[in-house]
Amino acid sequence: MDTALTLLPDFALILLGFGLRRGMALGDHFWTGLEKLVYFVLFPALLFNAMTKTPLTFSAVPLIATGAAAMMGAMLLAWLARPMFPLTPVSFASQFQCAFRFNSYIGLAVAAKLHGAAGIAVMGLLVGSLVPLANLAAVGMLARHGETSVWRELAKNPLFLTTLVSLAWNLAGMPVPAPFGQFLGRLAEAAIALGLLAVGAALKLRGAIGREGRAAAVYFLAVKLLAMPVIAWWVARQLGLAGLHFDVALVFAALPTASSAYILAQRMGGDGPRVAWLISASTLVGMVTLPLWLALLAFLA
224 in any annotated domain: yes
Q: Residue 219 carries which side chain, given as an amino acid letter?
A: Y
226 in any annotated domain: yes
Q: Which domain holds residue 145?
A: 2-296
Q: Residue 68 carries which side chain, given as an amino acid letter?
A: A
Does residue 1 register a pLDDT over 70?
A: no
Name the pTM for this structure: 0.87
Question: Range with the lowest mean pLDDT among 44-58, 69-83, 105-119, 274-288?
Answer: 44-58
Quickly count: other Cβ atoms within 10 Å of residue 205's Cβ.
9
pLDDT band at 257 (very low <50, low <70, confident <90, very high): very high
209 in any annotated domain: yes
258 in any annotated domain: yes
Closest CA to 91 of 260, 209, 219, 207: 209
301 in any annotated domain: no
| Tens-digit pLDDT profile for residues 36-61 | 898 889 988 988 887 787 777 777 89
Largest Cα–Cα distance in the chain?
A: 55
36 in any annotated domain: yes
**Number of domains observed in the structure of the chain:** 1
185 in any annotated domain: yes
What single-letter DSSP state applies at residue 242?
-
Distance CA 158, CA 145 (A): 23
Identify the CATH number of the domain in which residue 41 sits. Answer: 1.20.1530.20
Distance CA 142, CA 134 (A): 12
Closest CA to 47 of 117, 102, 149, 123: 123
| Tens-digit pLDDT profile for residues 144-179 | 765 566 677 677 778 778 888 888 888 888 888 888
Distance CA 14, CA 194 (A): 9
48 in any annotated domain: yes
With beta carbons less than 8 A apart as the criterion, state whether 250 and 236 touch.
yes
